[in-house]
A and B are shown apart, each in its own frame.
Chain A
């Protein structure tokens, strides 16, 4: 039996009927067409599906949509302010922190959540914050550099 849930996603309120076994990833991608959130494994191993839920980064493939009822969610599509990229996004562009881009949404979500909590993290703290986000392409170095640079720019 489908259930009606209310989600606030990127500041927009949605009322959606969902089956009890649907994950938040599926609802975001398929019902709301927010395909920026990626699915790399579906079981919580890779971090490609990360979104910010009530202020915390979560792997949306591990959250049932019904559990998310009433929550406030930010996806990668909600990170930029209108046309202006978020400093983390800008830094990813400038530092070459992107290759295939499949991990990028989740990385940026994790990085932004970290900087929201801790504006001036150490390199180790950055590495810990993104250690649940797998990237097969970059070797992480440019991602870490980008996050450090963003943290410096955001402070100013």
Chain B
């Protein structure tokens, strides 16, 4: 018998039909009667004092309904980590980046709102602009935030084992530097929202977010409204990848404007404003020193990193920790030291983006490991396999690999890509490279300190027993959580997938921290599974009483009641269901007792059948400072092999083939797992080869469009040989864990290593443009002469 009926299949997404027909509504698609339109006034200076704000002209413009500045909004500080609340809704005394918010206006239409904003007169006194990490930390540099005189937003100093001792034991030590560029999330849907403050003083915010829960808390705090009066509802969301995981200025502005005017207020970012709001990948400057023994054993790693954080903290406290902690695996490493500094600059704030904090560290290290393998005369895969961790291993920074198909993944890509045939045997200009990586399956702790459950879920059965309503505050942002959670509910309860109706992304449905840190399959999945089991138990209890059959002898599967010890006479129950059934659709025809019949009987006995579930991680490792970032109930891992062609004249890189093996625990939906893998690789390819947010000398973004900020198109991305590795994660629901972020970890370094194999040059600065390779090739030739 098949172990599972619903999960571990390739079912089409639950929202597929709505999305292919154009029916699916996103925040910008919504409108309300009597709605006003909001617009923001943003700073044209990267660093300046605000001397005066004059709104008199704006007030006189016909159609303007409200104008808010710091005076009206107040100066309550917010942000992501409570330890670094450093933003106010509007700037009061100074602006810190081009795009910093100064005021918002609500008007009868968008044209009027935009005109109104342009009529606000602000007097500025420009201050020196700091655009570089190393300028920011120089003695005497102007402070961007008064509370942080040296512009260091956060620093981390950790040592596990003894790195100096480790280097003494090493036969070979090398140091490399590595730097990337600021990356943009570049999700296709710009943020948009509508706030509705009603006569009963209840606020509803429809918004394009990854975390209704965090938005609800921030709105409550900043606008001083009780949490219970605020409902955050997430319509369909057009991607997030991290930057949508915290409250933004239009959400807060729309709420305040709606509260003040008593009318619905709609706001949205233009694409340029998406770039200004940013909160995407930081720029990281890594310096890594690694010590190994002659036989290839990795002994010690020293990692120093400076992060260009932009003007505000956002998720940056977590980022600076992740940039260290995520090198603890997947190789056995006894000694690791990390010094990280996240620095304020006058640029848009950086935050979390797919592979949060770990992607660039991983790229830097996996390239360095490749160099080391070569120096030692070892095959890069043999070298990695020699050091690889496996299930049950614990890293030196106390991350517990409760399941880890890392070896299996690496062997799978080796065998699936023809590595042995190709490595070292490709003609000049063609190359092959490998890398590994891993990622958390949900942050072990919420971003605010709390004993809160991370996910709750509720299931209600319809009175006819035919429909299972699943309520969760989990956030479907495109990754497929609605589908996954519905599948988990169906499997755990024993009904068909199509019997489950999911209601998600709404703070009225419970608590869920949202879609970030690859947490929902594991965490929301646990809560949903528990709720389903609870409901199942309630239905079976009633049956047990009615049929005088022990509960343990019954089960529910595929929508039918199973009697494990042979048939039980259910005719009386069936007869009473049929009596009840008058006028309803779909008269039951099965001879067996169905779940629907049983659920109706249970309803008649007990009233509405409702079950709930709640999840928070159990005891996690790490007692040291910062252990909260990196510890997780489980870790997914990935290995990749990439083949490239490099034009040796121009330096142009083409990625020809990618092979990716990812251990996602049990794959709930194999098609979704593949989709997450392919999407991750595509974002990694973009960051490796062309993505870079560029700034001019004044701190203005030079390329705030999807034309000039280039992300991969269908012509850049090759087909991926996608291999799913299934370990059984003991801490995951049905053994499942993450796939959405681990899969991006090896992409950049695998490309870099392939480029080296093709050209003989090592590029240590992203993106690897043709120009960069061209110059490196020229340098190399010069060296030879």
A interacts with B:
yes
Residues of A within 8 A of B (CB): 29, 34-46, 48, 75-77, 79-80, 85, 89, 92-96, 98-105, 108, 126-128, 130-144
- For B189, the closest partner residue in chain A by CB is A102
List residues of chain A with CB within 8 A of the CB of B719: 141, 144
List residues of chain B with CB within 8 A of the CB of A79: 21
List residues of chain B with CB within 8 A of the CB of A37: 22
Q: Is B681 in contact with A139, judged by CB distance below 8 angstroms?
A: yes
Give the number of residue pairs across the A-B interface with Cβ within 8 Å: 169
Extra contacts besides A40-B271, A43-B707, A141-B720 (10): CB < 8 Å: A35-B29, A41-B706, A43-B705, A77-B21, A101-B236, A104-B19, A135-B714, A136-B187, A136-B239, A141-B717
Given A93-B12, A96-B13, A136-B187, A142:B678 Cβ within 8 A: yes
Q: Is B237 in contact with A142, judged by CB distance below 8 angstroms?
A: no
- A101's contact among B24, B705, B717, by CB below 8 Å, is which? B24
Q: Is B26 in contact with A96, judged by CB distance below 8 angstroms?
A: no
Q: Is A136 in contact with B241, judged by CB distance below 8 angstroms?
A: yes
Given A99-B675, A142-B674, A39:B28 Cβ within 8 A: yes
Q: Is A29 in contact with B714, judged by CB distance below 8 angstroms?
A: no
Q: Chain A interface: which of B336-344, B476-484, B751-759?
A: B476-484
Q: Provide 21 A-B residue pairs closer than 8 Å at the C-beta atoms, listed in order of the A residue.
A: A35-B25, A40-B190, A41-B706, A42-B270, A76-B20, A85-B17, A93-B13, A98-B15, A99-B480, A100-B477, A101-B18, A128-B714, A131-B715, A135-B188, A136-B186, A137-B188, A138-B678, A140-B678, A141-B720, A142-B671, A142-B675
List residues of chain B with CB within 8 A of the CB of A103: 188
Q: Is A76 in contact with B21, judged by CB distance below 8 angstroms?
A: yes
Given A40-B706, A46-B706, A100:B238 Cβ within 8 A: yes
Which of B15-62 touch A at CB < 8 Å? 15-26, 28-29
Q: Is B683 in contact with A80, judged by CB distance below 8 angstroms?
A: no
Task: Tell me the complex Cα distance, A45–B271, Å.
Answer: 10
In the assembled complex, the CB of A38 is this many whole angstroms from the nearest CB of chain B, namely 7
- B12's contact among A96, A104, A127, A137, by CB below 8 Å, is which? A96
Given A38-B238, A100-B478, A102-B238, A140:B717 Cβ within 8 A: yes
Q: Is B714 in contact with A144, judged by CB distance below 8 angstroms?
A: yes
- A137's contact among B270, B671, B679, by CB below 8 Å, is which? B679
Task: Tell me the complex Cα distance, A44–B19, Å.
Answer: 22
Task: Tell me the complex Cα distance, A126–B717, Å.
Answer: 13
List residues of chain B with CB within 8 A of the CB of A46: 188, 706
In the assembled complex, the CB of B12 is this many whole angstroms from the nearest CB of chain A, namely 5
User: B450 on the interface (CB 8 Å rule)?
Assistant: no
- For B30, the closest partner residue in chain A by CB is A35
User: B194 on the interface (CB 8 Å rule)?
Assistant: no
User: B401 on the interface (CB 8 Å rule)?
Assistant: no
Task: Tell me the complex Cα distance, A3–B447, Å.
Answer: 53
In the assembled complex, the CB of A80 is this many whole angstroms from the nearest CB of chain B, namely 6
List residues of chain B with CB within 8 A of the CB of A36: 21-23
List residues of chain A with CB within 8 A of the CB of B480: 99
Given A38-B238, A48-B188, A131-B714, A138:B675 Cβ within 8 A: yes
Q: Is B20 in contact with A108, judged by CB distance below 8 angstroms?
A: yes
Task: Tell me the complex Cα distance, A35–B236, Å.
Answer: 13
Q: Is B29 in contact with A131, judged by CB distance below 8 angstroms?
A: no
List residues of chain A with CB within 8 A of the CB of B241: 136
List residues of chain B with CB within 8 A of the CB of A85: 17, 20-21
Interface residues on B, range: 35 or more
User: B211 on the interface (CB 8 Å rule)?
Assistant: no
List residues of chain B with CB within 8 A of the CB of A76: 20-22
Q: Is B15 in contact with A101, judged by CB distance below 8 angstroms?
A: yes
User: B672 on the interface (CB 8 Å rule)?
Assistant: yes
Q: Is A89 in contact with B477, judged by CB distance below 8 angstroms?
A: no
Q: Is A139 in contact with B20, judged by CB distance below 8 angstroms?
A: no
Task: Tell me the complex Cα distance, A126–B270, Å.
Answer: 30
- For A89, the closest partner residue in chain B by CB is B20
List residues of chain B with CB within 8 A of the CB of A144: 714, 719
Q: Is A45 in contact with B707, judged by CB distance below 8 angstroms?
A: yes
Q: Is B21 in contact with A138, judged by CB distance below 8 angstroms?
A: no
Q: Find the residue from A94, A102, A130 having the highest chain B CB count within 10 A.
A: A102
Given A96-B675, A138-B678, A104:B711 Cβ within 8 A: no
Q: Is B22 in contact with A139, judged by CB distance below 8 angstroms?
A: no
User: B591 on the interface (CB 8 Å rule)?
Assistant: no
Q: Is A96 in contact with B720, judged by CB distance below 8 angstroms?
A: no
Which of B657-711 touch A at CB < 8 Å? 671-672, 674-675, 678-683, 705-707, 711
Q: Is A140 in contact with B671, judged by CB distance below 8 angstroms?
A: no
List residues of chain B with CB within 8 A of the CB of A131: 713-715
- B479's contact among A40, A99, A102, A127, by CB below 8 Å, is which? A99
In the assembled complex, the CB of B218 is this many whole angstroms from the nearest CB of chain A, namely 23
In the assembled complex, the CB of B606 is this many whole angstroms from the nearest CB of chain A, namely 38
List residues of chain A with CB within 8 A of the CB of B478: 99-102, 137
List residues of chain B with CB within 8 A of the CB of A92: 16, 20
Q: 3 shortest A-B CB distances, which residue pairs?
A: A36-B22, A100-B478, A102-B238
List residues of chain A with CB within 8 A of the CB of B479: 99
- B679's contact among A95, A99, A128, by CB below 8 Å, is which? A99
Bitwise, B221-243 to A at CB < 8 A (1) or not (0) is 00000000000000011110100
Q: Find the residue from B19, B271, B681, B714 having the highest chain A CB count within 10 A.
A: B714
Task: Tell me the complex Cα distance, A137–B683, Å.
Answer: 8
Task: Tell me the complex Cα distance, A40–B18, Å.
Answer: 19
Task: Tell me the complex Cα distance, A100–B477, Å.
Answer: 6
List residues of chain A with CB within 8 A of the CB of B15: 98, 101
Q: Is B711 in contact with A137, judged by CB distance below 8 angstroms?
A: no
List residues of chain B with CB within 8 A of the CB of A130: 714
Q: Find the residue from B10, B16, B681 having the highest chain A CB count within 10 A.
A: B16
In the assembled complex, the CB of B34 is this many whole angstroms from the nearest CB of chain A, namely 16
In the assembled complex, the CB of B340 is this many whole angstroms from the nearest CB of chain A, namely 28
Task: Tell me the complex Cα distance, A133–B478, Å.
Answer: 17
List residues of chain B with CB within 8 A of the CB of A141: 678, 717, 719-720
List residues of chain B with CB within 8 A of the CB of A48: 188
